Structure 1
Amino acid sequence: MRVLIVDDDRFTLRLLTRQLTQLGVDGVLACESASAALTLIDGQIDSVDVLFCDLNMPGMDGVEFLRHLSRHGYRGGLVLISGEDVRVLDSVRRLASARQLQVLGTLRKPVALESIRALLQPAAAGAARAEPEFRKRYEAAELRQGVRQGQLVNHYQPKVAFSDARVVGVETLVRWAHAQDGLVFPDQFIAAAESGGVIEELTDAVLHVALRDTRSWNESGLDLRCAINVSMDNLVALDFPDRVAGAAARAGVPIAQLVLEVTESQLMHDTLSLLDIVSRLRLKRIGLSIDDFGTGFSSLAQLRDIPFDELKLDRSFVRGAGENAELLAILRANLGMARQLGLRSVAEGVETAGDWACLRDLGCDVAQGYFIARPMPADRLPEWMAEWEARRTHLVNRS
């Protein structure tokens, strides 16, 4: 393993070099500045497996250095070191991850030997050298053809109540069964649907299948609220509430079982039309959820102006909140606000027993995430619910 340390403090350089040698690393390079490090690795950036980088350096600081690493296509592991406040470290970690840099972790000075050992284990196993997965993007014309040929497939992720762990609903997650590329996920085609004018056809297709599946579950005795993601682009057509209500009536599904989850991925300029449409949706007793709350353009202004009846906490605030005082404070504040406004609260991204216990103790209403189940085809849901019943009993008894 080849490790590069970048730090303007000579004592820290010597200490880290000695610690890495103790851990069996025999290829340690050290630079006292970011510019010197860039010169050293110019043309051979792929030869560095792990890079330890101080943030607060004179001249080129660590943040600027990370920008250059990203532009050079660095694919090794990255360890951020600083004596700065933990919030600064966390902010830079998020920035590095957004720049497609593989952050192994953050360390505060003085650095402990065992902390270094724990961070180097994934790199030693080769995880830090993994190539990023290629994500193909699709054009609107190809997507439109796929929609019209019936290639969209709905999967459903269960939602359960924290109070008794009973299944109370599902979120509809669309997939594209592409003829050549297999199952394609929405992050690869939703942007094309919105920009290319396909989103209305796509939403209608997803809604049609979701209502058909909901009716099937109703007939088998499963009473579940079915949530469907809609774009802000859907909420510009004044006939949208009538189209949704008409589709539910034709499917024989009670309108109150429908929830529309809205993620504001772009600013909405025609606020009068938006208020017209969402108010009519709520008058028809269609649920309205503000998705990914706290990210993008979602804000307190939306809660003030739009008659949502559900607030979904974004996964970035949920995962690991029990061990993070700042996330815990954000969740506590948002859940308190939801209760005061009479909104149902849903936590997405519940991935561990710790996440479950944390959100349950904070008084969240509904959980969704891999701790409960991954998205699944409609015909798999009844079988999964039978399996969940055993886990449900255990969770309730343990709490």
Structure 2
Amino acid sequence: MRNPLDGLDMQTLCFIVDDEPAIGRFIALALRNFGDVGVEQFIDPPSMNAALRERVPDLIFLDVSLGASDGIEALRHLSAAGYPGVVQLMSGRDASILEDVRLVGERHGLRMRPVLTKPFRVDAIKTIVDEEQLLFGGTRAAEADGARGSEDPRPPKVSLRDALERDRLEIWYQPKIDLRAERMTGAEGLARIRHPEHGIVYPAAFIPGAAEADLVALAECALRMALRDAADFAAVGHTLRLAINMPVEALVALPIAAIVRDARPHEDDWSGIILEVTEDQIIRDIPAAHEIATQLRIHRIALALDDFGSGYSSLARLKELPFDELKLDRSFVTGCGMDTENAALCGTAIELAHRFGSLAVAEGVETASDLATIRRLGCDLAQGYLFAKAMPKDVLLAHMAADGEGGRFA
């Protein structure tokens, strides 16, 4: 994968948290042997937490058993701090305990790698470096445009209403890759706030606790921006099918068909727009959702069922909905290359999507082994840090122009 920000001087930074100094030195030496990687070592979570106030690593190696503390305590702090990087658990404890700790991290919204069992060899560190692309700017590279915001480990509470009123909202795009054509055919638009003091601020800092009216206003703003951006992509010869998240309240309250009629690109080959609705929300009123979805399809507006597998919905009821995409919950995708249970869940979800006449989309694809597995299972589209993080429209356009074929991330 070519990084869209090649040439920026952004040294990768790793933290190692282990109360055995020899282990820390072993990992640090291995990392430095593989390239220009900055490494800091800590013997307990409190010292790591103090460092996080000043700088954010791309990857944290975290021991599960830490004397007076433990990995769960560290994961809770990382989640509360809004840590955006990757966590690599490691321990000599029982594998089932390690996997349970990893799942705790995922439930806290952290990016958790498959567990690393001690003792391990240098080859294991090399695999992590390769899969996380640590020598190419790491996990922060695609966010250089908002450098200060991406480096703040403690997301400040920011008023969504204030950001909307002051025109501080931006939509950043994460490429969606067609796994057969091995090229970008769409992108998901994700909300960001460009704050004068905090830099780029992520949804964790402004979505929780926001008033319903403000969330509806956010959805309308995101829809209008995505339609405008679709026209900009089309103007330079790139027909991308863009997607945005849409809460059910906005799906019901907004005149979406009218907004799209007025603001959509007018090219005949416009591929439409996708509204992503979570499974747990859409299941509340299937008949109303079906009526709205049917009307929207007339205007080339499709629905995607987001986070499929997290809502425990009745499949018989979901079958009533005309959705174009079924997006596998990232908890299934993460580690599916190593975890046979996750692979089986992915396979079931992909098969269901195809039975419903929909495309299967894997979210959170972060390792080569996970990508190989979902490909083998017949998944249609994928997105995740393995390909690219979300980036400003202009950065994505620049990458597509440099590529020559319009977006070969895969």
TM-score bracket relative to the smaller structure: 0.5 to 0.7
The answer to whether the 8 A contact 1:230-1:262 is kept is: yes
In the alignment, what sits opposite 1:346?
361
User: After superposition, what is the alpha-carbon deviation per residue over 1:218-274, rounded to whole angstroms, capped at 9, x for unaligned?
Assistant: 12111111111111221232x53433433444x536664211111246576444433
User: After superposition, what is the alpha-carbon deviation per residue over 1:143-201, rounded to whole angstroms, capped at 9, x for unaligned?
Assistant: 223212221111111112111212211111111112322211112222334x3421221
The equivalences for 1:32-111 within 5 A come to 52=65, 89-95=98-104, 98=107
Residues of 2 paired with 1:392 and 1:104: CA distance? 27
The answer to whether the 8 A contact 1:235-1:278 is kept is: no
Residues of 1 paired with 2:339 and 2:178: CA distance? 24
In the alignment, what sits opposite 1:307?
322
Decide which of 382, 386, 389 is 1:371's aligned counterpart.
386
The answer to whether the 8 A contact 1:310-1:345 is kept is: yes
Distance 1:242 1:369, change over 3 A: same
Residues of 2 paired with 1:224 and 1:391: CA distance? 10
The answer to whether the 8 A contact 1:232-1:266 is kept is: yes
| TM-score under structure 2 length normalisation | 0.65
In the alignment, what sits opposite 1:319?
334
Higher helix share: 1
Residues of 2 paired with 1:308 and 1:167: CA distance? 21
Distance 1:243 1:333, change over 3 A: same
1:283 CA drift (Å): 3.7
In the alignment, what sits opposite 2:220?
204
Decide which of 223, 226, 232 is 2:248's aligned counterpart.
232
1:359 CA drift (Å): 2.1
In the alignment, what sits opposite 2:293?
278
In the alignment, what sits opposite 1:295?
310
In the alignment, what sits opposite 1:134?
154
1:338 CA drift (Å): 1.5
The answer to whether the 8 A contact 1:158-1:372 is kept is: yes
Q: Which amino acid aligns with 1:331?
A: C
In the alignment, what sits opposite 1:39?
none
Larger relative CO (CA 8 A, sep 6+): 1 or 2? Answer: 2
Distance 1:296 1:218, change over 3 A: same
In the alignment, what sits opposite 1:9?
none
Residues of 2 paired with 1:203 and 1:72: CA distance? 30
Residues of 2 paired with 1:338 and 1:354: CA distance? 22
Residues of 1 paired with 2:367 and 2:102: CA distance? 22
Secondary structure class of the residue paired with 1:322: coil
In the alignment, what sits opposite 1:221?
237
Distance 1:283 1:381, change over 3 A: same
Decide which of 255, 261, 276 is 2:276's aligned counterpart.
261
The answer to whether the 8 A contact 1:78-1:102 is kept is: no
1:46 CA drift (Å): 5.3
Residues of 2 paired with 1:284 and 1:368: CA distance? 26
Q: For the pair shown, which has the larger CA radius of gyration, 1 or 2?
A: 1
Q: Which amino acid aligns with 1:252?
A: H
In the alignment, what sits opposite 2:132?
none
The answer to whether the 8 A contact 1:78-1:101 is kept is: no
The answer to whether the 8 A contact 1:2-1:50 is kept is: yes
Residues of 2 paired with 1:91 and 1:105: CA distance? 11
Does residue 196 of structure 2 align to residue 179 of structure 1?
yes
In the alignment, what sits opposite 2:177?
160
Decide which of 242, 247, 258 is 1:243's aligned counterpart.
258
The answer to whether the 8 A contact 1:159-1:366 is kept is: yes
The answer to whether the 8 A contact 2:229-2:393 is kept is: yes
The equivalences for 1:358-397 within 5 A come to 358-388=373-403
Residues of 2 paired with 1:317 and 1:134: CA distance? 28
1:387 CA drift (Å): 4.3
User: After superposition, what is the alpha-carbon deviation per residue over 1:112-152, rounded to whole angstroms, capped at 9, x for unaligned?
Assistant: 6558xx89xx9xxxxxxxxx9322233xxx32232122211
Residues of 2 paired with 1:218 and 1:71: CA distance? 43
Decide which of 372, 380, 402 is 1:357's aligned counterpart.
372
| TM-score under structure 1 length normalisation | 0.67
Secondary structure class of the residue paired with 1:136: coil
Which consecutive unaligned segments of at least 5 residues does structure 2 have?
A: 1-15, 26-43, 49-61, 82-87, 129-151
User: After superposition, what is the alpha-carbon deviation per residue over 1:82-119, rounded to whole angstroms, capped at 9, x for unaligned?
Assistant: 65xx55652344236657999998688xxx6558xx89
In the alignment, what sits opposite 1:332?
347
In the alignment, what sits opposite 1:252?
266
Residues of 2 paired with 1:327 and 1:179: CA distance? 42
Distance 1:298 1:136, change over 3 A: farther
Distance 1:278 1:67, change over 3 A: same
Distance 1:307 1:244, change over 3 A: farther
1:311 CA drift (Å): 0.9
Residues of 1 paired with 2:238 and 2:407: CA distance? 16
The answer to whether the 8 A contact 1:256-1:286 is kept is: no
Which consecutive unaligned segments of at least 5 residues does structure 1 have?
A: 5-19, 26-43, 55-64, 123-131
The answer to whether the 8 A contact 1:313-1:345 is kept is: yes
Distance 1:311 1:47, change over 3 A: closer
In the alignment, what sits opposite 1:31?
none
Computed over aligned residues only, the root mean square deviation of the Cα atoms, in angstroms, reads 4.4
Does residue 206 of structure 2 align to residue 189 of structure 1?
yes
The answer to whether the 8 A contact 1:231-1:264 is kept is: no
